[in-house]
Homo-oligomer: A and B are copies of this chain.
Amino acid sequence: MNAAHMEVLIVEDDLLHRIYLREQVSAALPECDTIFEAENGAQGETLARAHRTAHIVMDLQMNARNGIEAARTIWLERPDTRILFWSNYADEAYVRGVSRIVPNGAAYGYVLKSTSEERLKLALRSIFVENQCVIDNEVRGMQQRSFAQASGFSESEYEILMDIALGMTDRAISKRRHLSLRSVQNRLQQIYSKLEVHQPPETLREDGAFNLRARAVTVAMMRKLLNYGALEKAEAELQSWLKGS
């Protein structure tokens, strides 16, 4: 680490936030002499590749290409890149997405936009000069709740949840995930029960019948287990799988 020279790349689509970040970065890191800026994920990848920047702070949830996608390709090319994710929300979909792509040993951070200036500056220094991970408290809580058993989803359940969200049939899922048809259905039932999606249990009305499959998707959406970015990513993967075989 060369203390006299540092380049930082900011990837953020909101102008005001970009300006704010620029200020905070140069205030927190006097050794930083160059700041590059991108306003979407695609541009961010290009700049990161062009300048080989080892320090990136970026938003998740951008228009052209979201932060997770961008981070994934950047980390594939240079796994030692240090990335601070700077996000509005701590949705489980985001947290899961990030922790799925971080190379082991890499330093990264995840702080919310609502945190104070001090915490942001601290995070910047911790990650970029101390090479140390910084995860916001709320995000940390989400991580634990997510990977523990408590209403938490195993990786394979999560995959299948995506599959039904994409509109795949049981049989298609069984082919894709190499399971028997019945196993897929078993997993679906686990998913339904973990999401607390069931037919109106003791109800008298026969109106309120639910299509569990469809309901599970929106319940997952409302619980922030799924979000827009995750859907897009899953859709892309599905398409390439359909081509692949």
Chain A residues within 8 Å of B, Cβ to Cβ: 14-17, 20, 113-114, 164-169, 171-172, 175-176, 197, 205, 207-219, 221-222, 227-228, 231-232, 235, 242
Contact = CB atoms under 8 A, between A and B. Distances in A.
Contact of A214 (B113, B210, B217, B227): B217
Contact of A222 (B207, B215, B216, B232): B232
A166 B232 contact: no
Contact of A211 (B167, B175, B242): B167
B231 A218 contact: yes
Contact of A208 (B215, B217, B231, B242): B242
B210 A211 contact: no
A207 B232 CA distance: 21
7 contacts: A16-B16, A166-B214, A167-B216, A171-B209, A172-B207, A172-B209, A217-B218
A70 B208 CA distance: 29
A210 B167 contact: yes
Given A176-B207, A207-B242, A221-B221, 5 more contacts: A164-B211, A166-B214, A167-B197, A214-B217, A221-B228
A218 B164 CA distance: 10
Copies in the complex: 2
Nearest to A212: B167
B16 A214 contact: no
Contacts of A217: 165, 167, 214, 217-218
Given A221-B228, A222-B232, A232-B222, A215 B175 contact: no
Contact of A209 (B14, B169, B208, B213): B169
A198 B113 CA distance: 41
Contacts of A165: 214, 217-218
Contact of A166 (B213, B218, B242): B218
Contacts of A214: 164-167, 213-214, 217
A228 B93 CA distance: 14
Contacts of A242: 205, 207-208
A209 B167 CA distance: 9
A210 B169 contact: yes
A55 to B, nearest CB: 22
